[in-house]
């Protein structure tokens, strides 16, 4: 049965490479060039293995994506984008390198840097919570990673401890670009204008919607649906009595009894409830500030051991998020608390850093929590031992 898609090329060439270049292009690798070793983990469409290049003896993590699953769920575009972003961020400090890709009849292969120390989550869980030096260090690395992505108009949209991998020196490598949004020049300009002009009052929007239309599309991050015009109505709550936006066909389309963000079953991309930004839930414009929200969640989690918005199911978590129901356990460092509060603003435009335009998050870097942090040196110095 699996012969069905044998000839499917999921990477249709945009244009043939000029023949003259062929001489200097290294030959395309194939699965035969690697010895596949231990299973590392799996995602919705993929399984990751440790592998060794038979020629160089170098270790890699190879992500094997099953074409059958990708096609069945129509996720070709996601995979293409993931590959494009990994390629863009290759050799950028703080990101998993994509060393090559190839395919056979059955699968697509992404050959990546092997992050020897796994992801950040088990470290947080093991020690309960990080001490302030570790939190500060890892938070600083995340700020740098956000700068690198956002400068390139890449919004990750699924930053969370599980997607923060650790290399052999315990420096972070951001992974999992299955949910990225790449902003076009026009979208980038719109996003910037949106943020600089004050954004949107999502608390008000939530009241207008009376919680009725948190988005819950089948497509977790319904890209082609994000329109900046829709924010024009944000100033008015006048139609609240009539049900407001829930009456429009658009809103109705987004209405469903319970959002299903976190679907474990194979065959769909998973956005994780705890770190989802309110604008994603409320169908407001997606800007780089969505990652700043996640940054706030992750700093909170490193400090306290748990993500800030919790609940027994995703629906409860989503309600906590759109109410921005934050509470800080006793002993939470005051500077960290202030920083988290400034990042976890419902209105994306109000988040610390959202209005920075220099390509560097100067307003985050200069927050008292990062006092004495030399951001240029953070990735060059040995991280504090996690405790």
Q: Which of 109, 114, 194, 318 binds ligand ATP (CB under 6 A)?
A: 114
Between 165 and 339, whose beta carbon lies closer to ligand ATP? Answer: 165
Between 41 and 235, whose beta carbon lies closer to ligand ATP? Answer: 41
Q: In whole angstroms, how close is the CB of 167 to ligand ATP at the nearest point?
A: 9
Tell me the DSSP string of 311-376. -SSHHHHHHHHHTT-----TT--HHHHHHHHHH--SSGGGSTTTT--SSS-HHHHTSGGGTT--TT
Q: Which residues, numbered 171-190, are part of the site for ligand ATP (CB under 6 A)?
A: 175-176, 178
Asked if 135 interacts with ligand ATP (CB under 6 A), we say: no
Cα(198)–Cα(107) distance, integer angstroms: 46
Asked if 83 interacts with ligand ATP (CB under 6 A), we say: no
Between 60 and 369, whose beta carbon lies closer to ligand ATP? Answer: 60
Q: In whole angstroms, how close is the CB of 320 to ligand ATP at the nearest point?
A: 23
Q: In whole angstroms, how close is the CB of 41 to ligand ATP at the nearest point?
A: 3
Asked if 137 interacts with ligand ATP (CB under 6 A), we say: no
Q: 288: which residues sit within 8 A by CB, 6+ positions away?
A: 146, 149, 150, 155, 183, 191, 354
Per-residue CA distances from 309 to 28, 184, 288, 353 (Å): 46, 31, 20, 22
Residue with tokens 């921005």: 324
Q: By CB under 6 A, which span of 30-38, 42-50, 246-254, 328-336 interacts with ligand ATP?
A: 42-50
User: Token pair of 202, please?
Assistant: 């999502």
Between 3 and 38, whose beta carbon lies closer to ligand ATP? Answer: 38
Tell me which residues are annotated as active site: 158
Quick one: CA torsion of 115, 117, 118, 120, rounded to 10 degrees?
A: -120
Asked if 41 interacts with ligand ATP (CB under 6 A), we say: yes
Q: Which of 34, 51, 63, 354 binds ligand ATP (CB under 6 A)?
A: 63
Between 178 and 278, whose beta carbon lies closer to ligand ATP? Answer: 178
Asked if 115 interacts with ligand ATP (CB under 6 A), we say: yes
Q: Which of 4, 22, 35, 42 binds ligand ATP (CB under 6 A)?
A: 42
Q: In whole angstroms, how close is the CB of 256 to ligand ATP at the nearest point?
A: 21
Contact present, 216 and 282 (Cβ < 8 Å): no
Cα(43)–Cα(176) distance, integer angstroms: 9
Strands (E) in the chain, as ranges, are 34-42, 46-53, 59-66, 98-103, 107-112, 154-155, 164-166, 172-174, 181-182
Cα(251)–Cα(371) distance, integer angstroms: 44
Per-residue CA distances from 108 to 16, 56, 111, 136 (Å): 20, 22, 10, 38
- Letters for 257-296 (x = contact with ligand ATP by CB under 6 A, - = none) are ------------xx--------------------------
Cα(5)–Cα(33) distance, integer angstroms: 23
Between 6 and 125, whose beta carbon lies closer to ligand ATP? Answer: 125
Q: Helix, strand, coil % (nearest 5) of the chain?
A: 40, 15, 50
SS3 298: helix
Q: In whole angstroms, how close is the CB of 157 to ligand ATP at the nearest point?
A: 11
Residue 163: which of 94, 98, 259 has the closest Cα? Answer: 94
Q: In whole angstroms, how close is the CB of 367 to ligand ATP at the nearest point?
A: 29
Q: 220: which residues sit within 8 A by CB, 6+ positions away?
A: 179, 261, 268, 269, 270, 271
Q: Which residues, numbered 345-384, are part of the site for ligand ATP (CB under 6 A)?
A: none
Contact present, 205 and 254 (Cβ < 8 Å): no
Asked if 198 interacts with ligand ATP (CB under 6 A), we say: no
Q: In whole angstroms, how close is the CB of 349 to ligand ATP at the nearest point?
A: 28
Size, binding site for ligand ATP by CB under 6 A:
21
Asked if 124 interacts with ligand ATP (CB under 6 A), we say: no
Between 172 and 213, whose beta carbon lies closer to ligand ATP? Answer: 172
Q: Which residues, numbered 292-321, are part of the site for ligand ATP (CB under 6 A)?
A: none
Residue nearest to ligand ATP (CB): 43
Where does this chain bind ligand ATP (CB under 6 A)?
40-44, 46, 48, 61, 63, 96, 112-115, 119, 165, 175-176, 178, 269-270
């Amino acid at each position: 049965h699996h012969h069905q898609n044998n000839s499917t090329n999921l990477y249709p060439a945009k244009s043939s490479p000029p023949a003259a270049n062929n001489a200097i292009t290294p030959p395309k690798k194939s699965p035969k060039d690697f010895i596949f070793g231990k299973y590392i983990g799996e995602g919705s469409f993929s399984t990751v293995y440790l592998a060794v290049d038979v020629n160089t003896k170098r270790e890699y993590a190879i992500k094997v994506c099953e074409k059958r699953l990708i096609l069945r769920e129509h996720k070709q575009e996601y995979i293409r984008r993931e590959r494009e972003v990994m390629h863009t961020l290759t050799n950028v400090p703080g990101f998993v390198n994509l060393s090559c890709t190839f395919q056979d009849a059955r699968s697509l292969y992404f050959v990546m840097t092997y992050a020897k120390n796994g992801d950040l989550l088990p470290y947080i869980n093991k020690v309960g919570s990080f001490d302030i030096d570790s939190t500060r260090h890892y938070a600083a690395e995340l700020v740098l990673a956000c700068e690198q992505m956002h400068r390139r108009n890449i919004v990750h949209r699924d930053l969370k401890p599980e997607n923060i991998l650790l290399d052999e020196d315990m420096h972070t490598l951001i992974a999992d670009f299955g949910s990225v949004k790449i902003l076009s020049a026009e979208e980038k300009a719109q996003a910037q204008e949106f943020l600089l002009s004050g954004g949107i009052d999502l608390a008000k929007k939530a009241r207008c919607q009376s919680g009725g239309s948190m988005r819950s599309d089948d497509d977790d991050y319904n890209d082609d649906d994000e329109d900046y015009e829709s924010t024009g109505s944000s100033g008015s709550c006048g139609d609240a009595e009539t049900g407001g936006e829930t009456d429009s066909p658009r809103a109705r389309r987004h209405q469903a009894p319970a959002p299903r963000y976190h679907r474990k079953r194979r065959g769909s991309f998973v956005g994780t409830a705890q770190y989802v930004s309110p604008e994603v839930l409320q169908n407001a414009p997606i800007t780089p500030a969505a990652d700043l929200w996640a940054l706030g969640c992750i700093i909170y989690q490193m400090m306290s051991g748990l993500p800030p918005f919790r609940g027994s199911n995703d629906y409860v978590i989503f309600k906590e998020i759109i109410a921005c129901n934050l509470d800080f356990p006793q002993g939470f460092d005051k500077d960290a608390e202030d920083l988290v509060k400034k990042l976890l603003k419902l209105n994306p435009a109000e988040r610390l850093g959202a209005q920075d335009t220099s390509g560097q998050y100067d307003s985050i870097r200069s927050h008292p929590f990062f006092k004495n942090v030399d951001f240029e040196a953070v990735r060059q110095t040995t991280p504090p031992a996690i405790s």
